[in-house]
C-alpha cells in the first residue's frame, strides 16, 4: 500500500450529529483511519477536529445550511449548495491513488463527489443508504416516467459505472443496480449495518414501568424515524381493526413525517388501544424496546432495495420478535425469514398485520422464543465484523490498478 494514499469520506452527517447515519459513518471513518490517512469532509456543525494521534481521522467542516425537513424545496437547494462545496473540497484535496467515498444522503452528493474524484484520478466508492429515484417513486413524490426520475436514472447510469466500489447494506439493492448498463457485480459489496445496543435477550417483564398503561396485555410497538418509505397508517388501521380486542395494546413512539400522520389520526379517532409516546432518550432505548412483546416495521409497497432496515438490528439486540410489512425479497424480509425471528406480511395490508398480531399474542411462548432467536441472530450483525469488511475492501481497492 502506498504511504501517500489517503481515504476521503464526504458526508453531510457526522458526529456529534446524533443520527444513526452519523454514528455509522463515524465508526467507519475511525476504522479506516487505522490503515491509512483519513480525512472526513463533514456537513455537521461542530464536527471539525484535527487527529489526536496517527490512527484517527482529520475532520474538515464544510458550511451547510439545514432547512427543516418538511421544507422540501429549500432542502433541495441546501443539498445542491452542499454538493457544490463538497465538489471543490474534494477536488482540491484528492490525489491519484486516493480513495474518495460519499454517501447517498443527500441524494445530490454522490454525483458531485464522484465527478471531483474522477477528475483528480482517484478511486471512488459509494455507500448506498437510500436509492433514488426509486425512493421518490415509493413515497409517491415522483412517478417512474416523470422528468425527475428520468434525469436521475440518466445520472445514475454514469455514476454507477464510474465507481470503483459500491457498498450496499441490503442484499436487495444489487438487483436494482445491475439494471444499469455497465455495472459489474464484482463492484458491489454487501456490508450490513450493525446493532447499536448491547446484545442480549431481555426476559419479558410485566412490571416494566413503560408498560404501566397495560401491564398484562400483549404490547406491540412502532418506533423510530417514519419517513416517506414507511406506511404508518397501516399500523393505525390494524389497531382500529383490533380496537375491541382487549388482549392487544399498541405503543407508538417516533418522529418524522409518518409520526405527524399518526398523531393526526389518533387525535381524530382517539383509539383506546393506542398509546402515543415521545421518543425516549438514548440511554433508555434498550429498556423501552424490551417493554414490548413484538415490534412492527411497516414499509410501503415496492420498497425492496430502496429503504434501509437499520432499526431491525436494535430490535434483535434486545431479543424481540419483529413483524415486517414488506416484500419477501427485501433485506428485512430475508433476515426475518432466514432466522425465524418474526413474521413477514404483505406491505400496506392492515388486515394481514392485525391477523399476524393476533397470532403472536395467542402464543406468547412461541413469540418469546422467536425473540430469543432474534438476540442470537443479532450477533451476526456486529460492528467488528462489518468494520473489518470495510477495511478489507478498501485495502484491496488501493492495491488494485487504476
Residues 26 and 71 in one domain: yes
Please provide the average confidence, as pLDDT, over all residues in the chain. 91
Instruction: Flag whether 203 is in a domain.
Output: no
Return the pLDDT at 311. Answer: 86
pLDDT tier, 216 (very low <50, low <70, confident <90, very high otherwise): confident
pLDDT in tens, 228-284: 889 999 999 999 999 999 999 999 998 888 898 999 999 999 999 999 998 888 888
Instruction: Flag whether 199 is in a domain.
Output: no
pLDDT tops 70 at residue 70: no
Residues 389 and 371 in one domain: no
pLDDT tier, 367 (very low <50, low <70, confident <90, very high otherwise): very high
Residues 374 and 387 in one domain: no
Q: What CATH number is associated with residue 54?
A: 3.40.50.2000
Residues 79 and 153 in one domain: yes
Instruction: Flag whether 101 is in a domain.
Output: yes
Residues 220 and 131 in one domain: no
pLDDT tops 50 at residue 2: no
pLDDT tops 70 at residue 310: yes
Question: Are 240 and 252 within 8 A, CB to CB?
Answer: no
Count how many residues are written for the chain.
402
Residues 358 and 345 in one domain: yes
Domain of residue 122 covers 6-194+382-399
Residues 336 and 395 in one domain: no
pLDDT in tens, 45-56: 999 876 666 788
Residues 157 and 262 in one domain: no
Structural domains of the chain, count: 2
pLDDT in tens, 328-365: 999 999 999 999 999 999 999 999 999 999 999 999 99
The arithmetic mean of pLDDT across residues 135-151, rounded, is: 85
Residues 266 and 170 in one domain: no
Distance CA 343, CA 67 (A): 38
Q: What percentage of the chain reaches a pLDDT higher than 90?
A: 71
C-alpha cell at 194: 450493525
Question: Are 102 and 113 within 8 A, CB to CB?
Answer: yes
At residue 399, φ and ψ (nearest 5 deg) are: -85, -15
Return the pLDDT at 352. Answer: 98
Residues 146 and 52 in one domain: yes
Instruction: Flag whether 244 is in a domain.
Output: yes
Instruction: Flag whether 179 is in a domain.
Output: yes
pTM of the model: 0.89
CA 140 to chain centre: 20
Residues 31 and 179 in one domain: yes
- Cis peptide bond upstream of 133, omega within 30: yes
Amino acid at each position: 500500500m502506498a504511504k501517500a494514499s489517503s481515504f476521503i469520506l464526504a458526508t453531510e452527517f457526522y458526529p456529534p450529529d446524533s443520527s444513526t447515519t452519523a454514528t455509522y459513518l463515524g465508526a467507519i471513518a475511525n476504522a479506516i483511519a487505522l490503515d491509512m490517512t483519513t480525512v472526513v469532509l463533514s456537513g455537521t456543525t461542530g464536527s471539525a477536529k484535527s487527529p489526536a494521534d496517527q490512527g484517527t481521522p482529520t475532520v474538515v467542516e464544510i458550511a451547510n445550511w439545514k432547512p427543516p425537513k418538511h421544507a422540501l424545496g429549500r432542502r433541495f437547494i441546501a443539498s445542491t449548495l452542499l454538493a457544490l462545496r463538497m465538489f471543490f473540497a474534494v477536488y482540491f484535496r484528492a490525489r491519484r491513488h486516493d480513495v474518495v467515498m460519499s454517501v447517498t444522503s443527500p441524494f445530490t452528493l454522490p454525483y458531485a463527489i464522484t465527478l471531483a474524484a474522477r477528475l483528480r484520478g482517484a478511486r471512488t466508492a459509494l455507500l448506498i443508504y437510500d436509492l433514488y429515484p426509486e425512493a421518490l417513486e415509493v413515497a409517491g413524490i415522483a412517478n417512474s416516467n416523470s422528468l425527475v426520475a428520468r434525469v436521475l436514472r440518466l445520472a445514475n447510469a454514469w455514476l454507477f459505472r464510474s465507481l470503483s466500489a459500491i457498498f450496499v447494506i441490503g442484499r436487495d439493492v444489487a438487483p436494482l443496480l445491475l439494471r444499469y448498463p455497465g455495472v459489474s457485480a464484482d463492484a458491489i459489496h454487501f456490508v450490513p449495518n450493525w446493532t447499536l445496543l448491547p446484545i442480549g435477550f431481555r426476559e419479558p417483564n410485566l412490571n416494566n414501568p413503560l408498560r404501566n398503561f397495560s401491564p398484562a396485555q400483549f404490547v406491540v410497538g412502532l418506533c423510530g424515524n417514519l419517513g416517506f418509505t414507511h406506511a404508518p397508517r397501516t399500523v393505525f388501521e390494524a389497531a382500529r381493526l383490533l380496537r375491541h380486542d382487549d388482549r392487544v395494546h399498541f405503543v407508538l413512539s417516533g418522529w418524522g413525517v409518518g409520526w405527524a400522520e399518526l398523531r393526526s389520526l389518533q387525535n381524530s379517532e382517539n383509539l383506546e388501544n393506542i398509546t402515543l409516546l415521545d421518543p425516549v432518550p438514548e440511554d433508555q432505548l434498550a429498556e423501552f424496546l424490551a417493554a414490548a412483546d413484538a415490534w412492527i416495521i411497516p414499509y410501503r409497497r415496492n420498497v425492496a432495495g430502496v429503504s434501509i432496515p437499520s432499526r431491525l438490528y436494535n430490535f434483535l439486540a434486545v431479543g424481540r420478535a419483529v413483524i415486517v410489512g414488506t416484500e419477501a425479497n427485501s433485506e428485512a424480509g430475508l433476515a426475518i425469514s432466514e432466522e425465524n425471528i418474526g413474521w413477514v406480511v404483505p406491505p400496506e395490508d392492515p388486515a394481514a398485520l392485525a391477523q399476524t398480531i393476533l397470532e403472536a399474542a395467542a402464543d406468547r411462548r412461541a413469540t418469546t422464543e422467536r425473540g430469543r432467536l432474534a438476540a442470537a441472530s443479532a450477533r451476526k450483525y456486529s460492528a467488528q465484523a462489518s468494520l473489518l469488511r470495510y477495511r478489507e475492501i478498501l485495502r484491496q481497492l488501493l492495491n488494485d490498478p487504476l
